[in-house]
């Protein structure tokens, strides 16, 4: 609730009908980590992707499970759709 950028991304991009349809088409599983209390596992994940804070959006591919697409902190619909398409390619 404290991350304004996260809230804007969720309401403006991640809840967009076209983005939701693309997620469904690509069988995306959405996982959300709450860093409100500074969870050490989330901190470790942030550091592993050279980030010091949230938001951090990763799109994992079954073809490259150790090499996620890292999205920008401020999302755009086109960036998310492109990342989903990229992750679906072998």
pLDDT tens digit string along 29-87?
898 988 988 899 999 999 999 999 999 999 999 888 999 999 999 999 999 999 999 99
Non-local CB neighbours of 25 within 8 Å, separated by 6+ positions: none
Do 83 and 59 meet the contact criterion of CB atoms below 8 Å apart? yes
User: Which residues in 21-31 are b (16+ Cβ under 10 Å) and which e?
Assistant: ebbeeeebeee
Q: Is the pLDDT of residue 2 over 90?
A: no
Q: What global pTM score does this model have?
A: 0.88
Q: What pLDDT, on a 0 to 100 scale, did the predictor assign at position 21?
A: 97
Q: In the predicted model, is pLDDT for residue 1 greater than 80?
A: no
């Amino acid at each position: 609730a404290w991350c304004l950028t996260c809230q804007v991304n969720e309401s403006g991009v991640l809840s967009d009908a076209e983005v939701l349809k693309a997620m469904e088409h690509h069988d995306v599983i959405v996982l959300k980590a709450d860093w409100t209390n500074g969870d050490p596992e989330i901190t470790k994940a942030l550091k592993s992707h050279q980030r010091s804070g949230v938001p951090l959006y990763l799109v994992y591919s079954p073809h490259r499970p150790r090499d996620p697409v890292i999205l920008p902190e401020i999302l755009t619909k086109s960036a998310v759709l492109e990342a989903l398409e990229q992750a679906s390619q072998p």
